[in-house]
Structure 1
């Protein structure tokens, strides 16, 4: 059975501040909704396993489909309370890995070796590495067996510098995804701030912002169905 591994953050606050952050709910829930409709199974992993906090601001951007996923006992149990630890995951079970966003990922995605190994294993067996918004932070430091960045020479997208300024978090985040992606040799593609946009380059599928979740999911479904 085809399965997708969804990666979520454990970070509860913008580091160095008292302000809460966490998973951007829609970036998991909308993706799950699309997979549910396609009858594709998903599992959830986080750097530490267990509890995943929600960015409280993301609750302002919900609709009935997001709330239906959020209110489901399965999502509460597996996506928010009891996520898997990376060492509990067998990459052979998955055709794709999907990195969700929310600002928290900026601190616990980029340098997690275990997640990088999982993503590369899935990719090397012909699977897909995908992300949306800040989730691209999880792709930035993945290197192949030759030590080359996975995104080098690839067209990708993610939360842009302009969108970070609009969000008012430029001075708080530890780095800018767009800047680092370009430093890694990627071609960073983007559209107007906060408009839906997803891009495919081989088996890398990335979305620009929270409004691009379903676009990423649909790109992936075209590939695996």
Structure 2
């Protein structure tokens, strides 16, 4: 069985504010829903391990999110993530980073996961990320010293979407700018529209509306490996 490693944040607030945050549930649940339907396994991990924070668990009208949050396997994995120190990256066929603002405060600068991801990618593995998930791509440096995204076309949550969401003044940094400064090309479409880019084994989605499509692209890639 193919297996996907899903690194998630341990950071429970929006930046330095007291607003509850973490991983945005629909971006996790929609991708896991696709993986399960395709018979692809997954594991959740975080820097510290253990219980991880979620928000968006009450997203209105999102039946997939509601259904998956009641899934016993997913509940168990959220309550007891593996720590990065426990991981053997060769056990996994892909890495997927869901979004949420929390990872801007930990995975966006974490060298342990970044090193594992570089090893995985250079061994032919695929990496996917959606919304703020591409923040975790920023510290990934390949063995030749180049940034993973240095020759890639990438998308992520946009400045306009931060403004619409009311978070532009609270985020630790503007992800669009950070990605645009490091990637070969940064691309986006109108706010809140589905948009996914695939480039040389790297799959990125712009926003929550893109999560399902990222899951589909990831599953298709794994089926053809």
TM-score with structure 1 length normalisation?
0.95
Deviation readout 1:120-142 (Å, 9 max, x if unpaired): 11111101111000001000121
Structure 1 position 183, deviation (Å): 1.1
Large movers: runs of 4+ above 4 Å: none
Shift of 1:177: 1.2
- Displacement of 1:60 in angstroms is 2.3
Provide the alpha-carbon RMSD of the alignment.
1.2
Q: Is the 8 A contact 2:115 2:141 kept in 1?
A: no
The number of residue pairs the alignment matches comes to 223
Match of 1:210 in 2: 208
2:210 is equivalent to residue 219 of structure 1: no
Aligned residue for 2:96, secondary structure, equals strand
Partners of 2:139 and 2:32 lie apart in 1 by: 26
Asked if 2 retains the 8 angstrom alpha-carbon contact of 1:2 and 1:93, the reply is: no
Q: Gapped runs of 5+ residues in structure 2? A: none
Indicate the residue corresponding to 1:68 in structure 2. 67
Q: 1:185 to 1:66 in 2, by over 3 A?
A: closer
Shift of the 72–58 alpha-carbon distance from structure 1 to 2, 3 Å rule, reads closer
Deviation per CA, 1:150-176, whole angstroms, max 9, x where unpaired? 101210111011111111111111111
Match of 1:3 in 2: 3
Q: Is the 8 A contact 1:26 1:61 kept in 2?
A: no
Aligned partner of 1:110 among 100, 108, 111: 108
Answer with 66-75 or 99-108: which moved more. Answer: 66-75
- Which residue is 2:49 aligned to? 49
Q: Which residue of 1 aligns with 2:119?
A: 121
Task: Give me the whole-angstrom Cα distance separating, in 1, the residues matched to 2:41 and 2:162.
Answer: 32
Q: Which residue of 2 aligns with 1:36?
A: 36
Structure 1 CA distance for aligned equivalents of residues 29 and 157 of structure 2? 18
Q: Is the 8 Å Cα contact of residues 51 and 83 (structure 1) preserved in structure 2?
A: yes
Tell me how far 1:64 sits from its aligned partner. 2.2
SS in structure 1 at match of 2:23: coil
Alignment correspondent of 1:26 = 26
Residue of structure 2 equivalent to 1:170: 168
Superposed CA offset, 1:51-108 (max 9, x none):
11112x4522452222121111111111x21001011111111111000111111101
Aligned to 1:14: 14
